[in-house]
Structure formats: structure tokens, C-alpha cells
């Protein structure tokens, strides 16, 4: 049983995974290979003057993995409530998690299939998004949403930030206080 299962390993999903795994939560992240970020050449991401989409996605997944995230290449086909937790069905078997984050990019079909409330998208070329609270909660308690499928502006700095935001909100709820993850730099003179 994982603490959190994330569907999607683009900027939104991997950024959420980095915060969750670094906070000590057992985290599983699925990737079905359909990140649109892999098609981008990015020149507007703060701190990375020019980076290809594949480089950004692969570096993000590597960082999440190094912090303890388990990454599985699989297509998620269904998510079922299982008592207080969830069973996630994939083409590589079933997995269990206490909380779920949907970070499926331009694909809202899974969200629609499992019955979370959806609505028309507001960003160009994004047809359908999940109807979520500003914190990232969907209509099903325990299922959160982040990134493009949550309706944020479709830019890597924004979707990555949204994944971090949702992870911080989830962690804050579990911990009963606002979660802060700061490491201090100590210059050597
Ligand atoms: C051609 C192009 C150029 C772009 N150029 C720029 C740019 O210059 N600057 C910029 O800021 N942004 C750019 N973007 C936009 C940017 O790529 C996106 O805004 C952002 O990266 C999307 O992040 P995301 O995590 O929401 O989705 P994605 O990166 O699309 O990730 C979605 C993830 O969900 C997974 N997934 C979906 N469904 C399932 C399922 N059922 N089971 C398992 N996994 C699933 C996918 O495998 C993937 O890992 C560009 C986009 C395109 C297409």
C-alpha cells in the first residue's frame, strides 16, 4: 500500500512526487509515455535557459526516483475506491494507494471514467479538465488533480509549480499543519 499514487510523470506529476517522496511518503508514479512535454523545446522555464522536453521530463523523473519514488511504465485504466484507500488498475497489474493525484496532462479520459467531476477546458486546445478546488481536490475525497488536466496555463513552469502546490496541500492535510520543505545553503568562506 503506497501513501500516494500519482498518474502521470510530466512536470506536474514528477514535481508532486519530488515533494512527497522527500517528505518520506511512499510514492508510486505511473507514466504511459504520452507526456506532451516531450515534444517541446523550452526557453521560458526559470533557471533553465534552454532545455528540451525529453531532458526536462527525464531529469524530473530521475530526481523523483533518487528521492525514493517508484516509477512504473504502465497505462492506468481504472481507479476504484477500496474502503478508505484506492485500487489502481493498470495494464501491468493492480496497485493500492491511500491518496491519488491525477496529473495526466491533456488526457481527461481516466478522470471522466472514474467519475470525478469534469468541465470544459479554458486553455487553448485543452478540451476537458477536472473540476477541482483551488487546493487541487476533486469531487472524490482522496483524489487530487494537478497540471494541465487541472486547467492551469499550459507551460512547464506553471504545471510543475501546480504539482508542487498540490503535493504541499496534500502533505499539509496529512500533517495537520502547513508543510514547508526548506534546505538551507551554508556558504563556505
Ligand atoms: C509542441 C509543444 C511545445 C511546447 N513548448 C513549450 C514551451 O516552449 N514552454 C512551455 O512552458 N511549455 C511548452 N509546452 C507545454 C508544456 O509541455 C505543458 O504545459 C506541460 O509540460 C504539461 O505538463 P503536465 O505534467 O500537465 O502534462 P504532460 O507533460 O503531458 O504529462 C502527462 C503525463 O500523464 C501520463 N498519463 C496520461 N494518462 C495516463 C494514464 N492513463 N496512465 C498512465 N499515465 C498517463 C503521461 O504518460 C505523462 O507522463 C509545449 C507543448 C507542446 C505540445
- For residue range 142-151, list pLDDT tens digits in order: 999 999 999 9
Share of the chain above pLDDT 90, in %: 99
Instruction: Name the residue with the closest Cα to ligand 1, atom 10.
Output: 155
Please tell me the distance between residue 139's alpha carbon and the centre of ligand 1 in angstroms: 23
Question: Cα separation of 132 and 12, whole Å?
Answer: 15
Q: Which of 17, 34, 152 to mutate to test ligand 1, by most ligand atoms within 8 A of the CB atom?
A: 34
Q: Read off the pTM.
A: 0.98
| DSSP-derived secondary structure for 142-188 | TEEE-GGGGT--SSHHHHHHHHHHHHHHHHHHHHTS-----------
**Is 88 a pocket residue for ligand 1 (Cβ < 6 Å)?**
no
Mean pLDDT for 60-70 is 98
Question: Cα separation of 58 and 145, whole Å?
Answer: 21
Whether residue 4 is predicted with pLDDT greater than 90 in this model: the reply is yes
Indicate the CATH number for domain 2-175: 3.50.50.60
Question: Cα separation of 32 and 118, whole Å?
Answer: 22
Whether residue 189 is predicted with pLDDT greater than 90 in this model: the reply is no
> In angstroms, what CA-CA distances link 3 with 15, 40, 134?
16, 32, 22
Instruction: Name the residue with the closest Cα to ligand 1, atom 48.
Output: 35
Amino acid at each position: 500500500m503506497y501513501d500516494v499514487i500519482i498518474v502521470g510523470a510530466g512536470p506536474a506529476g514528477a514535481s508532486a512526487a519530488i515533494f512527497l517522496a522527500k517528505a518520506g511518503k511512499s510514492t508510486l508514479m505511473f507514466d504511459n509515455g504520452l507526456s506532451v512535454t516531450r515534444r517541446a523545446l523550452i526557453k521560458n522555464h526559470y533557471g533553465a535557459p534552454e532545455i528540451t522536453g525529453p531532458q526536462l521530463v527525464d531529469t524530473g523523473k530521475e530526481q523523483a526516483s533518487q528521492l525514493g519514488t517508484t516509477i512504473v511504465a504502465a497505462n492506468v485504466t481504472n481507479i476504484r475506491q477500496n474502503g478508505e484507500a484506492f485500487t489502481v488498475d493498470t495494464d501491468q497489474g493492480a496497485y493500492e494507494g491511500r491518496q491519488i493525484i491525477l496529473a495526466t496532462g491533456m488526457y481527461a479520459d481516466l478522470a471522466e471514467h472514474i467519475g470525478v467531476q469534469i468541465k470544459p477546458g479554458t486553455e487553448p486546445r485543452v478540451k476537458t479538465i477536472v473540476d477541482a478546488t483551488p487546493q487541487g481536490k476533486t469531487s472524490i475525497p482522496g483524489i487530487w488533480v494537478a497540471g494541465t488536466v487541472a486547467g492551469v496555463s499550459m507551460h512547464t513552469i506553471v504545471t510543475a509549480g501546480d504539482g508542487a502546490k498540490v503535493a504541499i496541500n496534500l502533505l499539509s492535510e496529512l500533517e495537520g499543519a502547513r508543510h514547508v520543505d526548506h534546505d538551507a545553503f551554508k556558504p563556505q568562506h
